[in-house]
Chains A and B, each alone.
Chain A
Amino acid sequence: MITAERKPMEELTECMKPFGRILLVGCNECVTVCAAGGRKEVGLLSSALQMHFMKENKPFEVKELTLERQCDPEYVEELAPHINQVDAVLSMACGCGVQEIARRYKEKPVFPAVNTKFMGASESQGVWAERCAGCGDCVLGITGGVCPIARCSKQLFNGPCGGSTNGKCEIDSSVDCAWQLIWDRLKALGKVDLYEENIAAKDWRTGRGGGPRKIIREDLAS
Chain B
Amino acid sequence: MQNFEPVIVAFCCHYCAYTAADMAGSKRLGYPPNVKIIRVPCSGKVDAIHMMKALEKGADGVYVAGCLDGDCHFKTGNIRAARHVEAVKKLLDEIGIEKERVEMFSMSAGMGEKFAEVASEFTERIRKLGPNPVKTSAFAQVRQAVG
Q: Is the CB of A55 within 8 A of B95?
A: yes
Q: Does A202 contact B (CB under 8 A)?
A: no
Chain B, residue nearest A52 (CB): B95
Is there contact, CB below 8 Å, between A44 and B56? Answer: no
Interface size for B (C-beta < 8 A) is: 20
Q: Among A7-15, A80-88, A188-196, which stretch is in contact with chain B?
A: A7-15
Q: Is the CB of A40 within 8 A of B47?
A: yes
B-contacting 9-mer, from A56-64, A112-120, A154-162: A56-64
Cβ contact within 8 Å between B97 and A55:
yes
Residues B134 and A44 in contact, CB atoms below 8 Å apart? no
A50 and B55 CA atoms in complex are apart in Å by 11
CA distance A183 to B139 in the complex (A): 63
Q: Which residues of chain A come closer than 8 Å to B96, judged between CB atoms?
A: 52, 55
Question: How long is the Cα–Cα vector from A55 to B138 in the complex, in angstroms?
Answer: 9
Looking at chain B's contact residues, the main secondary structure is helix
User: Are the CB atoms of A47 and B49 closer together than 8 Å?
Assistant: yes
B23 beta carbon closer than 8 Å to chain A: no
Q: Is the CB of A51 within 8 A of B95?
A: yes
Chain B residues with CB below 8 A from A57, complex form: 137-139
- Give the interface centre of A13, A40, A43, A48 by most chain B CB atoms within 10 Å: A48
- Which residues of the partner chain A approach B143 to less than 8 Å between Cβ atoms? 54
Q: Which residues of B contact A (CB under 8 A)?
A: 47-49, 52-53, 55-56, 91, 94-97, 133-135, 137-140, 143
Given A47-B49, A47-B52, 7 new contacts (CB under 8 A): A9-B95, A48-B94, A48-B95, A50-B56, A52-B95, A54-B137, A55-B134
What would 10 A/B residue contacts be, using CB atoms closer than 8 Å? A40-B47, A40-B49, A47-B52, A51-B56, A51-B134, A54-B135, A54-B139, A56-B137, A57-B139, A58-B139
Q: Which 9 A-B pairs have the closest CB atoms?
A: A9-B94, A47-B52, A52-B95, A57-B137, A54-B140, A55-B133, A54-B134, A47-B56, A51-B134
A residues with a Cβ closer than 8 A to B are 8-10, 13, 40, 43-44, 47-48, 50-59
